Structure 1
């Protein structure tokens, strides 16, 4: 598994609000990848990659990852919601595991807005007054890359990212490892 994380894990880059989907600069790891804002305005940028044993689409990668939720992730989201709600942040509830049959740009996958949906690239965002988050799932050949980028807008957004940045890196790393595990069919007996 390849981890192409930028050397900075959390850097306060100011308060300018990201606007839409931007193409990344000249970095080889981010040539096509969508980012939530210009690189010099990102508070967080992390890319992790894995080589897939068989071809799948970006949406199929999302579905496989969501089909095998990490133990404890629901508790982490509940804790996030309980703390953040005290500061007026909308509860997101975590990942439902619901399968959206025909997702479309402008629709949602749980709390994420679908901004791009192509065979080999899917871009999801969550935006509020504190920060903008973008997740880009990209497949080039047999290489699957998940890139997260964040722009913060205020002190709460910056403080929020202090624990979230390392947690996010670990969560994506674990999800990519689990994606490579063979799927065990459910038995008819339960």
Structure 2
């Protein structure tokens, strides 16, 4: 199943994908919960800085990620941290966040590799709607890859 994107790749302002092999089978929600189980102090600080700056442009605070148990499976339309759940299955979790400046979609997929091994892929697509959205994505785009790789390390 290919990763869901906000739009065709040519119409996106940002697209990033990273993946890791899984040593034990996980659902997409279990992987999300593992990824967000331990957020480093520097990333929590970056979320606070983001909220402080963005508040001046009437952008809602996101507060970052919270540790949670995968035992409560959210329904479509429910919030999962600062995202809205668009679709959820054992193999795929699709999350979005939208405001007047940009739209973000994160697609997490657990897929079978050769044999019985699994691979988790995280694909993020973004469309910017105005100059603030494009300016916002300059630092976020640079930091996104290292942040996702760090969060994927929580799974290992």
Fold conserved between structures, TM > 0.5: yes
Match in the other structure for 1:177: 153
Q: Does 1:146 align with 2:113?
A: no
Partners in 2 of 1:37 and 1:120 — Cα distance? 21
Contact 1:130 1:152 (C-alpha < 8 Å) held by counterparts: yes
Partners in 2 of 1:96 and 1:164 — Cα distance? 20
Instruction: Considering Cα pairs closer than 8 Å and 6+ residues apart, tell me whether 1 or 2 has the greater RCO.
Output: 2
Q: Does 1:53 align with 2:29?
A: no
Mapping of residues 101-120 of structure 1, within 5 Å: 101-120=72-91
Partners in 2 of 1:53 and 1:95 — Cα distance? 24
Match in the other structure for 1:167: 143
Structure 1 residue 40 displacement after superposition: 1.1
Alignment root-mean-square deviation, CA: 1.3
- Structure 2 unmatched runs, 5+: 113-117
* C-alpha distance 98-179 of structure 1, shift in aligned 2 (>3 A): closer
Match in the other structure for 1:132: 103
Which among 43, 47, 57 is matched to residue 13 of structure 2?
Answer: 43
Q: Does 1:69 align with 2:39?
A: yes
Structure 1 residue 177 displacement after superposition: 2.1
- How many residue pairs end up in the alignment? 150
Partners in 2 of 1:145 and 1:153 — Cα distance? 26
Partners in 2 of 1:119 and 1:102 — Cα distance? 10
- TM (norm. structure 1) is 0.76
Contact 1:70 1:175 (C-alpha < 8 Å) held by counterparts: no
Contact 1:46 1:149 (C-alpha < 8 Å) held by counterparts: yes
Larger Rg: 1
Contact 1:104 1:114 (C-alpha < 8 Å) held by counterparts: yes
Partners in 2 of 1:112 and 1:89 — Cα distance? 14
- TM (norm. structure 2) is 0.91
| 3-state DSSP of counterpart to 1:35 | coil
